[in-house]
Amino acid sequence: MQKHLKIDTSQKVTPLGDLYGIFFEDLNHAADGGLYAELVQNRSFEFDPIDNKAYHGLTAWEKLEKKGAKVTLEVEDKAPINSRNPHYLTVTAKAIGDGAGFMNLGFNTGIPLEKAKIYQFSCYSKTETAVEKPVVIKLTGAEGQVLAEGSLQPENNGWRKYECTLTATATDYSGRLVIEMQETGKYYFDMISLFPADVYKGRKNGLRADIAELLADCKPKFMRFPGGCLVHDGSLDSEDRDSLYRWKNTLGPVEERPSRRNNWGYNQTLGLGYFEYFQFCEDIGAKPLPVLPGGYDPHHQRMVPIEELGPWIQEALDLIEFANGDKETEWGKIRAELGHEEPFHLEYLGIGNEEIGEPFFERYTYFHKAIREKYPDIKLINSSGPFAAGKEYERGWTSARENGSDLVDEHYYQSPEWFLANYHRYDTFKAEDPKVFLGEYASWGNTYYNALAEAAFMTGLEKNAHAVGLACYAPLLCNTDYVNWRPDMIWFNNHEVFGTANYYVQKLFMTNQGDYLLKTTGENFAESVTAEENRPLSGKLIISAAVNTEVNCREIIFEDMTTGEIKKAQGAALKEGEQLELFDTKLSHYRLKFIGEKKSGTRGFEISFGYENRENRAIWELGGWQNQDCLVSSMVKGRGSCLTQSFFVVENNREYQLELEVKGRKIKTYIDGVLMNETEDKLPILKELYYTASVDNNGDYIVKMVNVKENPITFTLTLEGQEKTDLRGSRYMMSGYGLDDMNSFEEPKKISPVQEAVVLSNGTGEITLPGHSIVVLRLSKDDR
Ligand code: AHR
């Protein structure tokens, strides 16, 4: 029977709204040393061990003492340029010799300099006593060869800002910014900055053009910012060096923005701040989606007392006024003074990042009520924790329903197999519930296989646009020399950037989103086929102690749940790295029971079951990261997927009755008789064809199709209602790659769509999708 994909062009099923966007998260040096174009690292001498144990005030700076020179560098704080920027550099040039001064090493291999490109230098400086000879500013290559030179004449009557423009005479990606004295004396410097003149859209305090352009090319409907964990991990006092991310700290002249610890182990200058984020959103046509802390740090259990929440809620209201208020309002005026009289048209606001725990949800309600009352049109986003299912996830959804949140932020990082197995995840979500904001998701990896699985999953998001409002892949950016997290969508060093296979899928879906979903029917496609037989979770059972932890287990009982037969095993005391191998079972319905006790350490137990090897197993984890989880995960080829999670703290020297029941692929866990987890480790289902279709407001028809299988598939495609029309347009195809293939600096577009012209005569035609391919057709009635 002929396979037929029919798209009913007369039925606009669901508006697709702002479905696909991006998430800018400041980790992996995505801001400083990344999108933010500043080339000097530690420009204001504020680096501190609070940011990173290896940091100090002179991180990334070195002294220059050529033959006969004598120089000392000290970071001081007695007379700063302002109180928010407390440290500065004191340079004592005791002898000049062949060259006396200091230099900045930049990020990565150094300061990237390109022949004929212009660089904007600026700094604050002064001297203790008058000097006659100017200070020389040089851009040099790695070997010290001078590629550009300028000068400044500091004075001894207080801090002053100096600027000069430098043009590089050669290319060197390991350059240095060198500042040389020509006369002995005491010199002071602060906010030493170097920007390429060529920044994105020529903005002041601007963004690196090559990275910004890759983002702009996606035409995202929205941009979530600035994180991630950095939003809610930190001190509650906005004046503290390690404070939570507080937006008001990020406004105004860069020299007045305080330095902050980024919880990913580095320093944030806040040079890329809220004004710049809003401006960038506007520049790329993305709706801004800021996320504010909810007065709670789930990583350290810090919380603002309810009666002191007022200023935090006011901060959220002020942000809305900053973005949308007219220039007569207090915060609208500040925006206008910063150079943007027109509002930024804020529509979405997130409170909290992947929150776990009652204290957050207690506080969310106060934020929600106050914002709703004053700004009823703002779409408020609640949070459902870092996992795809479980009690904490449900708690987020319950809170969203009770409060009437517009959206719920879901986060999950899983194996590609999980994404294929969960293609139907949102089929049962209800249109009348808050909408899903899939604020962070990715399959573990940047191979073509990952991108293929994500593309298939995304057709599932799109066909469920009644329930899924917004979705963005995460993380977005990664500097190859400062990796906190992988995979990432875009990789860069100090002068090159490339999009991964995942990037090209995201871009393909974003640039071809469509405005309305069309009714689409597949006829005679094979029923979904399971990738493997529906095999039970049998295999070895192993108890082990988690990292840094010592546990005891005893009274171990294994029960065949079909026959009632019982086996016993000897208990053991286990340290990190030790494991107790118990049974190797072929049963499909069994129960393991034991008494477990944590003796010491920071985490708890790991119980592996369905164990084939370390890379392929299921795990019941008690304690987990931060000792706050009881979760079940599934590991496929070394890539884990958390199937469900509940909040649980394992106490020291307390006995727990632990029980695991497995039936087929269904799993239940109990602690002291209380059901903690209930889940199913679903096997991937491979559909013969994943598809979705939409129409945009210009009348373009968009058909997305994904073949995750090895063999090609041929079928007829008909756009019903267009039988008398020749539809013309483009076919974008990703195919012909190995599943393990990846893009790289050397081959940045190895995996990227190939565009070809297509004609669908009389609205119909035969389509062949090669094995492992992603195809998007964009068709219009005229020859646009
Ligand atoms: O994207 C990496 C991290 O994953 C984010 O900071 C956090 O929100 C999630 O746990």
* Residue 440 Cα: closest atom of ligand 1: 1
DSSP SS3 for 45:
coil
Spacing, Cα 211 to ligand 1 middle (Å): 21
Residue nearest to atom 6 of ligand 1 (CA): 228
What's the CA gap between 492 and 476, in Å, rounded?
11
Q: pLDDT exceeding 90 applies to what percent of the chain? A: 96
Tens digits of residue pLDDT in 461-477: 999 999 999 999 999 99
Spacing, Cα 353 to ligand 1 middle (Å): 8
Helices (H), 73-124: none
Nearest residue to 199 (alpha-carbon basis) of 307, 289, 105, 272:
272
Spacing, Cα 388 to ligand 1 middle (Å): 13
The pLDDT score that the predictor gives to residue 784 is 45
Pocket test of ligand 1: the residue of 27, 440, 477, 486 to mutate, having most ligand atoms within 8 Å of its CB, is 440
Q: For residue 24, give both structure tokens.
A: 């800018």
Q: Residue 274: is its pLDDT beyond 80?
A: yes
Taking each helix axis as running N to C, give the angle between helix 209-217 and helix 274-284, from 0 to 180 degrees, rounded to the nearest 10: 50
Q: Residue 71: is its pLDDT beyond 70?
A: yes
Residue nearest to atom 1 of ligand 1 (CA): 475
Pocket test of ligand 1: the residue of 229, 414, 473 to mutate, having most ligand atoms within 8 Å of its CB, is 229
* Residue 354 Cα: closest atom of ligand 1: 8
Spacing, Cα 163 to ligand 1 middle (Å): 39
**Pairing relation of β-strands 572-575 and 549-560?**
antiparallel
* Residue 227 Cα: closest atom of ligand 1: 6
The set of protein residues with a Cβ atom below 6 angstroms from ligand 1 is 25, 27, 227-229, 353-354, 386, 411, 440, 474-475, 485
Spacing, Cα 260 to ligand 1 middle (Å): 19
Q: φ and ψ at 510, to 5 degrees?
A: -70, -45
Mean pLDDT of all residues belonging to the chain: 96
Pocket test of ligand 1: the residue of 230, 353, 441, 502 to mutate, having most ligand atoms within 8 Å of its CB, is 353
**Pairing relation of β-strands 674-680 and 302-303?**
unpaired
* Residue 485 Cα: closest atom of ligand 1: 2
The pLDDT score that the predictor gives to residue 533 is 62
The pLDDT score that the predictor gives to residue 782 is 66
Q: Residue 685: is its pLDDT beyond 90?
A: no
The pLDDT score that the predictor gives to residue 198 is 97
Spacing, Cα 98 to ligand 1 middle (Å): 50
Nearest residue to 630 (alpha-carbon basis) of 546, 541, 542, 539:
546
Q: Are 399 and 407 in contact (CB under 8 A)?
A: no
Domains of the chain, with CATH numbers? 4-15+686-780 (2.60.40.1180), 22-29+204-514 (3.20.20.80), 61-198 (2.60.120.260), 539-680 (2.60.120)
HEC readout, 715-729: EEEEEECCCCCCEEE
The pLDDT score that the predictor gives to residue 188 is 98
Query: How many residues in the chain?
Result: 784
Tens digits of residue pLDDT in 348-368: 999 999 999 999 999 999 999
Under the banding of pLDDT at 50, 70 and 90, the label for residue 684 is confident
Which residue type, as a one-letter code, is found at position 661? Answer: E
Spacing, Cα 227 to ligand 1 middle (Å): 7
* Residue 230 Cα: closest atom of ligand 1: 6
What's the CA gap between 614 and 601, in Å, rounded?
23
Under the banding of pLDDT at 50, 70 and 90, the label for residue 626 is confident
Residues 6+ apart with CB under 8 A from 702: 512, 513, 514, 693, 694, 695, 696, 776, 777, 778, 779
* Residue 484 Cα: closest atom of ligand 1: 2
pTM: 0.97
Residue nearest to atom 7 of ligand 1 (CA): 228
The pLDDT score that the predictor gives to residue 709 is 95
Residue nearest to atom 3 of ligand 1 (CA): 228
Helices (H), 255-375: 274-284, 310-324, 330-337, 358-374
DSSP E strands: which ranges in 664-762? 666-671, 674-680, 685-686, 690-695, 701-707, 713-720, 727-734, 754-760
Pocket test of ligand 1: the residue of 23, 25, 410 to mutate, having most ligand atoms within 8 Å of its CB, is 25
Tens digits of residue pLDDT in 571-608: 999 999 899 999 999 999 999 999 999 999 999 999 99
Which residues are marked as active site? 354
Tell me the CA distances in angstroms from 333 to 200, 204, 313, one per residue in order. 26, 20, 20
